[in-house]
Amino acid sequence: MTADTMQCLICPGDRRVELRRKPVPQPGPDDVRVRILASAICGSDLHKYRQPQTERDAHGYSRLTLGHEGAGVVDALGPGVTHPAVGDRVVIYHLMGCGHCEHCRGGEPGFCRDLQGFNWVRDGVDAEYVVVPARNALPLPDDVDFEDGALLACNLGTAFGAVRKAGASGDVTLAVSGLGPVGLYTVMMARAMGAPVIGVDVQPSRLQLAERLGIEAVVDAAQTDPVAAMRAFGGGGGVHAAIDTSGVTQARSAAIESLRPHGIFVEVGIGDETVYKLSAPLNARELTLTGSWIFKLYEWEDLLAFVRRHRLPVKDVIGRRCRIDDAVEAFQLADAATAGKIMFDWS
């Protein structure tokens, strides 16, 4: 028997999060309700955490439940749902489209004109229960735990989408700027694909973690010129591809500057502005600049298979596990950007 109300986390901004109680949501005709068993703090949640409260109040974001990285068990179905079934283990795909436009039909709901996201239009996954369209509940195999499910939902999926766009392989030198959880997973996956990787950050603890995960080279951009280091790593002429997960203008620009002719830059991290300050026009080196936003619905099985086949040590990136009651402290820790991934255990 489900209670009438549930615990959930909201984020008023100004570096605050608060626990609240809300009614347990009821699934609409084509929805499922998922009992959350694991959720995680994302870099994009920190973006919200640091926003001014006035801004978040004006958009109504401060009322909505936070969180978009979640996994759990289907607990109730809308009357139109035939799949998944109650009791199924699922990961929540957090870009929710109309389900019938060309983009949704193509497995890319992120491009849907009616796109809905958590803590934007809908209540998020940092709650005991969340309601999502049935098509957004992806099957989680029995041998993958819920914690890994929450990591697959966003950070691992984001890294997978990015390394594919960068064309990572054994003969592609790759630079990854920003070594937070997404950056570290990008390194892990690119290494599994055989690519030599150099990582850039300004936090010594993150650089050390990347080294423990088997990266070839790291550069502390606070101490050393990152462009020179990345170019040298690529044999002097530059690297074949660079992925920025930091969202910082300076880091993005450095990553593009480090590319050799025909190099590919993949923008992943969220920044306040999309400005590139470059020393030469793109045509001089015929560079490709592209963006990558998590992964596609049709890539779910490939992503799962990749992580399992290569036995990626995905838990090594977790810096802290706690209950949602410790959310205030957990967000303070995440805000300091020194810890690894922070997980909430709801079981």
For Zn ion, give the closer residue by CB, 276 or 293. 293
For Zn ion, give the closer residue by CB, 24 or 144. 144
The H or E element that residue 301 is part of is: helix 300-309
The size of the chain, in residues, is 347
Give pairs for 180-183: CB < 8 Å, separation 24+.
Answer: 180/43, 180/206, 180/245, 180/246, 180/337, 181/43, 181/155, 181/317, 181/340, 181/341, 182/43, 182/155, 182/158, 182/245, 182/268, 182/269, 183/210, 183/243, 183/245, 183/246
Q: How far is the CB of 155 from Zn ion (least distance, A)?
A: 6
Tokens coding 181: 């959880």
Q: How far is the CB of 116 from Zn ion (least distance, A)?
A: 10
Which candidate, 122, 103, 121, places its Cα nearest to that of 112? Answer: 103
Peptide bond into 27 cis (omega under 30): no
| 290 close to 267: Cβ distance less than 8 angstroms | yes
Q: How far is the CB of 312 from Zn ion (least distance, A)?
A: 18
Please report, as ranges, the residues that interact with Zn ion according to CB under 5 A: 42, 69, 97-98, 101, 104, 112, 154
Q: Which residues contact 286 (CB under 8 A, 6 or more apart)?
A: 261, 262
For Zn ion, give the closer residue by CB, 268 or 287. 268
C-alpha of 229 from chain center: 27
Q: How far is the CB of 227 from Zn ion (least distance, A)?
A: 29
Q: How far is the CB of 322 from Zn ion (least distance, A)?
A: 18
Tokens coding 71: 């996994």
For Zn ion, give the closer residue by CB, 25 or 269. 269
∠305-308-314 over CA atoms, to 5°?
Answer: 125
SS3 category, 11: coil
Q: How far is the CB of 86 from Zn ion (least distance, A)?
A: 27
**Strands 5-10 vs 174-177: parallel, antiparallel or unpaired:** unpaired
Q: Which residue matches tokens 């997960």? A: 245
Q: How far is the CB of 271 from Zn ion (least distance, A)?
A: 15
Q: How far is the CB of 20 from Zn ion (least distance, A)?
A: 21
For Zn ion, give the closer residue by CB, 112 or 287. 112
For Zn ion, give the closer residue by CB, 108 or 216. 108
For Zn ion, give the closer residue by CB, 98 or 318. 98
Q: How far is the CB of 33 from Zn ion (least distance, A)?
A: 21
Q: What is the DSSP string of 190-218?
A: HHHTT--EEEEES-HHHHHHHHHTT-SEE
The Cα–Cα gap between 38 and 323 comes to: 10
| 8 close to 22: Cβ distance less than 8 angstroms | yes
For Zn ion, give the closer residue by CB, 42 or 266. 42
For Zn ion, give the closer residue by CB, 13 or 97. 97
Q: How far is the CB of 64 from Zn ion (least distance, A)?
A: 16
For Zn ion, give the closer residue by CB, 158 or 253. 158
